[in-house]
Chain A
Amino acid sequence: MKSSVITFPGSNCDRDMDVALKKFGFKNKMVWHNDAELPKSDLVVLPGGFSYGDYLRCGSMASKSKIMKSVINFANSGGMVMGICNGFQILVETGLVPGVLLRNKYLEFICKNVFVKINNKKNTYFKNIDNEVLEFHIAHNEGNYFCTKDQLKEIEDNEQIAINYCDKTGKTEEQFNPNGSIKNIAGIFNKKKNILGMMPHPERMIDSSLSGEDGSIFFNNLINNLK
């Protein structure tokens, strides 16, 4: 399986994503934001970081990068595109997924492990995962997902919510919401479910010596589903 990770000026989880993808069998290529063409890919990843220093608005300048035209075309033709953290912020700025990401409710950067409940398994990202709940890791200042009532209804009707913050048993109550996201939303899909944007970093959870191993479940499953 071939993957591409886009490096924007200010991306800082691009290497981590490269390491993770390769560990689980992807042939990964790093792609510079100023390139025009995407290499042939089965998966394109927009990594975490602070593209363009988060200036203007998180993700907004990166969403206008040269490479993003190709990424948007790829996504619109059904290609798998995943945005993690800042990558999620870029995705909402392109409009490929609905909504916006506001500053965290308590106005502070949060770096910690969280539990997320898988809300929809009828897609290439989460199909065949046995777990209902995964332990992931977040590290962000602007992960407070928000959308209008109409958008929310549409998202729910189309089963676009991918994962919600919860406790380890899967309870999605407000107290397990680290950043104030509407409906505890941690990640969402586009309508067709080929595009996934999420705040948690599965690439930081790929070894028992690190913060945890549930990222391994995610990547192993993803590459198997793509094959």
Chain B
Amino acid sequence: MNVNEQVAIDHGLKKDEYAKICELLERIPNITELGIFSAMWNEHCSYKSSRLHLKKLPTKGKQVIQGPGENAGVVDIGDNDAIVFKIESHNHPSFIEPYQGAATGVGGIMRDVFTMGARPIANLNSIHFGSPQNKKTKNLLRGVVHGIGGYGNCMGVPTIAGQTNFDSSYNGNILVNAMTLGLVKKDKIFYSKAAGLNKPVIYVGSKTGRDGIHGASMASASFDEKIEEKKPTVQVGDPFTEKLLLEACLELMAGDSIIAIQDMGAAGLTSSSIEMASKGNLGIEINLNKVPCRESKMTPYEIMLSESQERMLIVLENGKEEQAKKIFDKWNLDFAVIGKTTNSKKIELFFDNEQVANIPVNTLVENSPMYDRKWKKAKLPKKNKIKKEVLKNLKIIDVLKKILSNPNVCSKEWIWQQYDHTVMGDTIQKPGGDSGVVKVHGTDKAVAASVDSSAVYCWAHPLTGGKQVVCESFRNLISVGAKPIAITNCLNFGSPENEENMGEFVECVQGIGEAAEYLKFPVVSGNVSFYNQTKEEGIKPTPSIGGVGLIKDYKKMITMDLKEIDNIVLVIGKTEGHIDQSLFARNILDEKNGPPPEINLFNEKNNGETLLKLIDAGHIKSAHDVSIGGIITAVSKMCIKGNKGINLKKPKYLINEIEYYFSEDQGRYIIEVNKDNLKKVTDILNKNAVHYDELGTINKDQLFINEKTKVTIDELRTSNTNWLINYMSK
């Protein structure tokens, strides 16, 4: 096939990008080369619209061993232990084929983690669907949940936490973000940087098939009415092979034969070989006839662009091939020496004794396009004036029940019961809490992780929203008694070619950066997913933040269920009554305008760190951060989980009851304290200038509000648990 401008455009390249390729090569590329360029230069692999802005994120810290740029980030948790973690999107494939899309998303992120030598110890996910009324939503949700479970359960890695949201902006573009944490010895971390000349390049894992060709390009474009035709670009997962690959790789890694290792994810053999060569400032020569293929007569173009799953590329030390092959034979996996490292600084591919591609590595990586896209700064919306009469006419218990059964607040047990969350025998906090927590196997340490996003706030004001998500992640870790260490981000946005969407991206990233910097909560890995857009309509800006924290003594972990009758419940942090963009405003008042709650980073840090001190001193019986739905929603969930009631009394504030209980001011936590410790706790709070209100006393089984209104906890539980079960069984 002859290459020309139209062929390049059909590959998703722009006219000027094609011209640049011809200029860099000083000739017209052949079809295989064009395919390689299109795979490396698409948005998904090149970060061409985002690179400029991502550079501004804080990525360093005392505990950071590896920041962005590797397969995953790595942080130090002491005693020669390190945690490897990353979050990644698999949005486009999951909409087209929910089971396989979600499954391979989970498989891909686990591969990123064990490529670095770490055994995966926990999975998390953040999934977003269209309105429940949308006719596609139910099947997409079911397919995605089955896919996540199908892959993670088979791998034997517990899924310990997650987040599920519904919003009509995802009607045409669902989001599936998967996160994995792995445990590794600090002195046994593996990287993707090739080194040394004439070192064997090894292919291991599954055979290469025709599946997923151009997957990364598909993920770099908007959807239109022909989306069903894209099904063949979705990869098909085989978790069984990945389990074997995991065990085989870890067995090989126990020795000292690996120089560099890289998984074949997006853009398969193309991006993995180029990545290793580029980082090592080397060339790579590959004989494509040696690549194990699933189908006959595959062309060089297909072999290079296949996104078949469960494959790895390894640069080995000379002479270690036999020893390595034995391990892969034991696990029944393909093992083939397909090439070697060279000093040419080029990717040279051979097929049937002919050279089929010859491209300088730097043209694919450093010289790949980078755009400073135009973007629009968002204005802070004006505050709404809510009429007091409207609030007065509302019955607080009815509102509470409505909020507890809201799809974004209700119990997600139907989902996480389908995920094995206890395999590996170290899960000490299962899904449904503020963070999932697993013990560091065989030690007293535990690692907490949570994944959060607040698309509504980001949509209302991206800068504030970006800060808020980081703070929420910080709070979710502190609520279980973990010291926050670092984050990974998955940035899901619409088209970067649209100034407003690009503005949302730029300002969300700025917000994330500011909060991460202030809270000393650096970004160590992540991924960008643009073009979450169908025709002209993009999703609400949805950065997902995956936070990781450490609990030094797992016995000090905190859960949110109320523990004991007569204990006192307090709220830490000031309640100003911010109603705009709250779940209450949007769903009860049907008011969608106004600014999101303000973020005060000083209070955020101070409140969180003070709570950690209280937890460390053993004064806290239960804790839960206040998020959507406000104080009363948070308290109700604590009651439901602990099977206890509470006598709530609103402090004498200027704001009314509804505003006090349903507002979404930030930096707040609910805590449970024993009566005898109350004085000690309030002294510490006062000393640290942390505002608090006493909310009430725990009782057996009812929620009282100012002694006049009441509801049983069983009733609240029914509201909270039934929505999803009913929805899925209809």
Contacts and interface: CB of A to CB of B under 8 A. Distances in A.
A62 to B, nearest CB: 12
Interface string A71-111: 00000000000000000000000000000000000001111
B240 interface: yes
A13 B328 CA distance: 21
B721 interface: no
A13 B423 contact: yes
B641 to A, nearest CB: 15
**Chain A: interface size category:** 20 to 34
15 contacts: A12-B243, A12-B423, A16-B423, A50-B154, A50-B239, A53-B154, A54-B154, A55-B240, A109-B150, A111-B153, A111-B417, A111-B419, A137-B422, A204-B425, A210-B422
A111 B239 contact: no
Given A12-B155, A20-B425, A206-B425, A139 B420 contact: yes
Most B-side CB within 10 Å, residue of A16, A54, A111: A111
Given A10-B154, A54-B154, A55-B240, A210 B419 contact: no
A2 interface: no
B110 to A, nearest CB: 13
B153 A139 contact: yes
Interface string B401-443: 0000000000000001111111111111010000000010000
A12 B156 contact: yes
B422 A204 contact: yes
Contact of A111 (B156, B238, B418, B554): B418
Contact of B240 (A19, A34, A52): A52
| 5 residue pairs, one from A and one from B, having the closest CB atoms | A12-B156, A53-B240, A16-B425, A50-B154, A139-B420
Contacts of A204: 422-423, 425
A9 B422 CA distance: 20
B555 interface: yes
Given A110-B417, A111-B420, A209 B554 contact: yes
Contacts of B426: 210
Given A16-B425, A110-B417, 10 more contacts: A16-B423, A16-B424, A50-B153, A50-B243, A111-B422, A203-B425, A209-B428, A209-B554, A210-B422, A210-B428
Most A-side CB within 10 Å, residue of B146, B153, B238: B153
B343 to A, nearest CB: 40
A53 to B, nearest CB: 3
B244 interface: yes
Nearest to A204: B422
A109 B150 CA distance: 9
Nearest to B555: A209
A139 B240 contact: no
Contacts of B155: 12
A10 B420 contact: no
A127 interface: no
B331 interface: yes
A15 interface: yes
Contacts of A16: 423-425
A211 interface: yes
Most A-side CB within 10 Å, residue of B156, B244, B419, B424: B156
B156 A211 contact: no
Contacts of A111: 153, 416-422
A112 interface: yes
Interface in A170-212: 201, 203-204, 206, 209-211
Nearest to B439: A209
A48 B425 CA distance: 12
A49 interface: yes
A210 B426 CA distance: 7
A210 B429 CA distance: 8
B427 A109 contact: no
Contacts of B154: 10, 12, 50, 53-54
A206 B555 CA distance: 15
A4 B276 CA distance: 42
A139 B418 contact: no
Given A50-B243, A110-B418, A9 B331 contact: yes
Contacts of A109: 149-150, 153, 418-420
A127 B48 CA distance: 67
Given A110-B417, A112-B417, A210 B427 contact: yes
Most B-side CB within 10 Å, residue of A12, A48, A55, A204: A12
A110 B418 CA distance: 5
A13 B156 CA distance: 7
B425 A210 contact: yes
B244 A10 contact: yes
B139 interface: no
Contacts of A211: 422, 427, 430
Interface string A39-71: 000000000111011110000000000000000
B323 interface: no
A127 B643 CA distance: 35
A15 B240 contact: no
B201 to A, nearest CB: 26
Interface string A199-227: 00101101001110000000000000000
Contacts of A54: 154, 240
A210 B439 CA distance: 10
Interface in A1-53: 9-10, 12-13, 15-16, 19-20, 34, 48-50, 52-53
Nearest to A111: B420
Interface in B442-466: none
A80 to B, nearest CB: 22
A137 B423 CA distance: 10
A9 B420 contact: no
Nearest to B426: A210
Most A-side CB within 10 Å, residue of B154, B330, B416: B154
Contacts of A53: 154, 238-241, 243
Nearest to A141: B153
Contacts of B240: 9-10, 50, 52-55
Contacts of A201: 422
A63 to B, nearest CB: 16
B299 interface: no
Interface string B325-342: 000001110000000000
A209 B420 CA distance: 17
A49 B557 CA distance: 29
Contacts of A108: 146, 417-418
A15 B330 CA distance: 19
B123 to A, nearest CB: 13
Nearest to B246: A12
B558 to A, nearest CB: 13
Interface string B233-267: 00000111101100000000000000000000000
A96 to B, nearest CB: 24
Contacts of A49: 156
Nearest to B241: A53
B423 A10 contact: no
Nearest to A203: B425
A137 B421 CA distance: 11
Nearest to B119: A15
A108 to B, nearest CB: 5
A108 B416 CA distance: 11
Interface in B141-179: 146, 149-150, 153-156
Contact of A10 (B150, B243, B422, B557): B243
Contacts of A19: 425
A12 to B, nearest CB: 2
